[in-house]
Amino acid sequence: MGRPLLLRAALWRALALALWAVVLLQSGLDGRLDLLLRSIFHPLVSAAGVVLLALAVLQVLVALQGGRGGGRAPAESRREQRRDTGLSLVTATIAVALIVRPPNPSFADLASQRPGDDTTSDTLSFVLPPAQRSLTDWVRLLRSQPDPQLYAGDPVRISGFVLPVPGEPPQLARLLVRCCLADATPVGLPVRWTAGQPLPKADQWLAIEGRMAVERSRGADRGGERVGHRGGDEGSEQLVVVPERIKPIPRPARPLEP
Amino acid sequence: MLLALAQAQSASDPVETVRIQAMAIDLPVRLNTAWALFQGLLLEALPFLLIGVLIASLARWLSPGGAWLRRLPAHPIGGPLSGAALGFALPACECGNVPVARRLLVGGAPVGTALGFLFAAPVLNPIVIASTWAAFPDQPWLLLARPLGAVLVALALALLLRLLPEAELLRADLLEERRLNQPLASVSLLERRSGVIGLPADTPLAAPALGPADSEASSWREVLRHGSREFLNLALLLVAGCALAALVQAFLPRQWLLAVGGAPTLSILALMALSLVLSVCSSVDAFLALGFAGQITPGALLAFLLLGPVIDIKLVGLLGLLFKPRGLLLTTAGAGLAVLLIGQWINLWRL
């Protein structure tokens, strides 16, 4: 007493599983994972996609055989089947939404909701020459050796996005993730933007070449993240990047740093 | 020098402009960010959900049953502990767990042991510990505190629920099936509806007693059907949980979160409420906690990770397969109290 193919719940389950498999596999291929997850989890996501795809294929086989061999699912009442199909369709719709609408987060917006990163890193095993240090390397170095005078005059070549800071000129920043975007925390370096020029727009990615300089900060207590910052309540010293060349760049393929 | 930098509108006081930009919430931008957060959480959690469902399906396939269930210890403390230890053998998150616990009860396992399994196994298993570690590699104390806390909660609940007689705790249909599998000597004649008088206590009665559900269990198609449906069902809950978490992260003013999250007791209560509402599986809840972890007390973080696996909105429906309303109420109250106490204690220790 085979039901028409399209009425078999197994077929719709197969469709839903296949779409979820596409979500997982596609996000590995189109660089979405680079934007959202720390790289060590990427193989896990792709593997889960492969498993889901295999399950979907099995479900199609079951659906095709569904009419024959009967007796298999007497317990599966018609109402249960309908409920099942509904569930499959709802989840399939969500999967389609995920496929057609890739994420486009504003890092500056995300960072404005987060406290600055304050973990001391143990990954900095040796110190690179100044011109090779990434923005994150600089922040970590300043955290372990906070005296700004040590670095005055060092050449700097870094890239990051523009992060507006309340009450201050924007910083050049990066997001650090331990797991995924949900736990991203910003780290930033103050930049002495060229006087008279308009300030860069939030979220713009920039590559900056220049030198480190020590600057007296503006005294007022602003709370939040301050690296390379020394001194008491007034006239404390702060390390700033003095750019010689600023180049707008597109968002890098792997914008997150571990 | 400054090439093609985007313009800030007001040149008069650029600092002020930026400050205002930073404070204002640009709705489309914020929605985009929430969408990305949602996808990040979902993509991170789905593989762990899949692993959990696969293992639960496997356990269903090789479904436990038989006389050994009745030989599990019935000691008031040893029972729940051995039940909790079963979690390592049958790793599944709480949704896969309820059917397994039901099977244990129906198969004649001591109530305390089955409860220990039901409440502790969702946390006390390798998958959950692995995902907790993946989410919080920088907080090793959590890897110890979470399983330990889960065992304490399970123990407290098992001891608490002992106070209710079986007939008031468990559902009638479950009890009926259960009596078929208990040694007849332990069931009074009045409680019996069927059974063969005079059988030796160890006669395996499992096959007829477990009914149609189990004769199906051996078919791979049945396991596939059940597993796929379970995955889609739980994926839907996960989607809802991730969406809520992403929206809370993106839209709840940070000052609120900080104000609530910094208060020792209030933060624990808030996160307990959140875990009730979110209803995500124990194998993935650690990822959802990530977004808040920076702003809340450690006790609140642990409370979130402990309460969700024992009771939440989704589980009320599932636990209804086992307990009468009274048992469910007692479970909720007991779990809430135990988790609150553990959270407070952690805050005393860590803050």
List the domain boundaries for chain A: 5-104, 108-257
The tens digit of pLDDT for each residue in A92-103 reads 999 999 999 999
Instruction: Tell me the nearest-neighbour CA distance from A231 into chain B, angstroms.
Output: 24
**ipTM above threshold 0.90:** no
Find the range with the poorest average confidence among A207-221, B28-42, B186-200, B304-318. Answer: B186-200
For chain B, how big is the Rg over CA atoms in Å?
24
Q: Can you give the pTM of this predicted structure? A: 0.76
pLDDT-based confidence at residue B108 (cuts at 50, 70, 90):
confident
> Which of B26, B47, B236 lies closest to A90 in CB terms?
B236
B138:A178 CB<8 A:
yes
Residues of B in contact with A10 (CB under 8 A): 225
Q: Give pLDDT tens digits for A80-92.
A: 888 889 999 999 9
Q: CA of A161 to nearest chain B CA: how many angstroms apart?
A: 12
B248 in a domain, yes or no?
yes
* Residue from the list B219, B233, B250 with its beta carbon closest to the beta carbon of A113: B250
Residue A215 to chain B, least CA–CA distance (Å): 17
The tally of domains found in chain B comes to: 1
User: Does residue B279 sit in helix, strand or coil?
Assistant: coil
A201 with B7: Cβ contact below 8 A? yes
Range with the lowest mean pLDDT among A33-42, A52-61, A112-121, B340-349?
A112-121
Rg over alpha carbons for chain A, rounded to the nearest Å, is 26
Do β-strands A168-176 and A256-257 pair in parallel, antiparallel, or remain unpaired?
A: parallel
Residue pairs spanning A and B at CB distance below 8 A: 206
- Chain B residues closer than 8 Å to A247 by CB: 3
Q: How far is CA B84 from the centre of its chain?
A: 14
A183 → closest Cβ in B22, B50, B290: B290
Domain residues for B57?
A: 29-192+199-207+221-350
Confidence of residue B254 (pLDDT cuts 50, 70, 90): low
Instruction: Judge whether B11 lies within some domain.
Output: no
Residue B276 included in any domain: yes
Per DSSP, the three-state class of B269 is: helix
Give a three-class secondary structure readout of B286-342: HHHHHHHHCCCCHHHHHHHHHHHHHCCHHHHHHHCCCECHHHHHHHHHHHHHHHHHH
Q: Which residues of A touch B293 (CB under 8 A)?
A: 183
* Least confident stretch, B58-62, B205-209, B259-263: B205-209
H/E element, A165: strand A155-165
The pLDDT score that the predictor gives to residue A87 is 92
**Closest residue of chain B to A49, computed from CA coordinates:** B47
Class of CATH domain A108-257: mainly beta
- The partner residue sitting opposite B36, judged by closest CB among A181, A194, A201, is A181
